[in-house]
Structure 1
């Protein structure tokens, strides 16, 4: 499996790691840590040196119950950061975490390579056509509702079947619009209870029926720290355990806060599977 990022074919047959750079004041784990150029550059350099293939930049916190951020504020936060990173790291492959077409287009024009949309186009009717116009890889995530209401009693009869059906429709629409490179993200922690998250993880390999690259993002999420009765800052061990399981079930990209540990997971699982 390959995706085309700025003219470079990225081979996902060996899983890749996507490092998270949150430039929001209220993200659940690292909100407010990276608000000046020095901290942003230092954090990015560390992740790249540790082996991140992609850097995912987000300026709108999507944690449950997060405050709404205006389009203008999101643009003000994210566009200068994309420009800064491209200037200092010319070969960087940036994924922009946004559900807004205007923000996506502005970031791609500044040098970002991928659009990562938590809503798969559901929160902006112009997103799909914009991605098709830009001809960049598009990460489509499963979510019901919005970050503000998604955790208000989510219900499913069979979550894995419903996620598969959701993506089959979304992929068909994206293909019809002319989007070539698609990646699916089951959306752990988005409109899902603890039980939903683990049921979905236990059947993760079924998502390969879609024949698309699979991204897993469970880094330090509540499905880990609530089950283990600790806090996000204590959830690295649990993250590593679930990342290993996700890799064993065929995940192609791990989206993480802790790049070094995720890269080590990839190396170990690849060694096991290569024997």
Structure 2
């Protein structure tokens, strides 16, 4: 399992609920789906999914995020019953084996069943908009809840990629969701914010959001970044090249290092070892910066030495 430092509490994170590390948290992606954009079908049966979940944990994932519905652009909704069939056996086995499991779902029914099966966290890409019952489930359970910026279901979300100022607009819409959820009993210390890269956003929006991650930290909540293998990364390459999702890992790792250096709470990734190293680099960078500051403070003032 991960060798990062023990949890340390911060004012905006419940010590007993949401993991907080000296280094950025690494959330490993486990898609139990036939159609996810990067790894659809690779872990679609329980045996392979459970094996991969334990591999993610052994590779250093602090959390394994299990999802049974693709949210790639154009994806169609999956009935909750089918989603439950996909994810529950996986959640149950991983949790029984000591893995910290997050359930990636927009459906309150699935979230509740997964929590009962051993998940400790809900990752809702709709931020509670897809299923109004989600707020009650999360409030009653008292578990950590990832609230992502979302405007519409995957099959039509790109029609809503229209912003005056993407950073300010996403800030405003997240604040509205926080107000709604807390009015229904979700505690602020349960909430983790996700700016929703790729969801109702064009590449230029995603890059603008990443460039302003510090402004999301300033909202006072832990921030999760999910950039792994997403299509906006292809803007880095020759437009004539069709770069497969699995070949975007180097770009993902660079984003992870920058995001961790910017102080985000966590990153959600497919390739755990490479991104764990990115997090370690960011932690060492910060440690070196603090050491340099101490050294500068200890230096005598030349003006006083004369």
SS of the aligned residue for 1:156 comes to coil
CA distance in 2, matches of 1:199, 1:4: 30
**Structure 1 pair 247/9, CA: closer, same or farther in 2 (3 Å)?**
closer
Aligned to 1:165: 172
Deviation of 1:233 (Å): 1.6
Unpaired segments ≥5 residues, structure 1: none
Deviation of 1:175 (Å): 2.3
Q: Is structure 2 residue 28 aligned with structure 1 residue 19?
A: yes
Aligned residue pair count? 272
Q: Is structure 2 residue 92 aligned with structure 1 residue 79?
A: no
Which protein has the bigger strand share? 1
CA RMSD of aligned residues (A): 1.6
Residues 114-156 of structure 1, C-alpha deviation per residue, up to 9 Å, x if partnerless? 0000111111111111110111100000011111101125110
Q: Is structure 2 residue 283 aligned with structure 1 residue 270?
A: yes
Deviation of 1:13 (Å): 4.4
Deviation of 1:226 (Å): 4.4
Q: Is structure 2 residue 130 aligned with structure 1 residue 110?
A: no
Residues 63-120 of structure 1, C-alpha deviation per residue, up to 9 Å, x if partnerless? 0001221111111111122112223x1x211110001111100100111000000111
Q: Is structure 2 residue 159 aligned with structure 1 residue 146?
A: no
Q: Structure 1 residue aligned with 2:199, among 168, 173, 190?
A: 190
- Would you say the 8 A contact 1:12–1:213 is kept in 2? no
Structure 1 range deviating more: 233-242 or 17-26: 233-242
CA distance in 2, matches of 1:105, 1:60: 16
Structure-1-length-normalised TM-score: 0.94
Give the number of the structure whose alpha-carbon radius of gyration is greater.
2
Q: Is structure 2 residue 38 aligned with structure 1 residue 29?
A: yes
Structure-2-length-normalised TM-score: 0.85
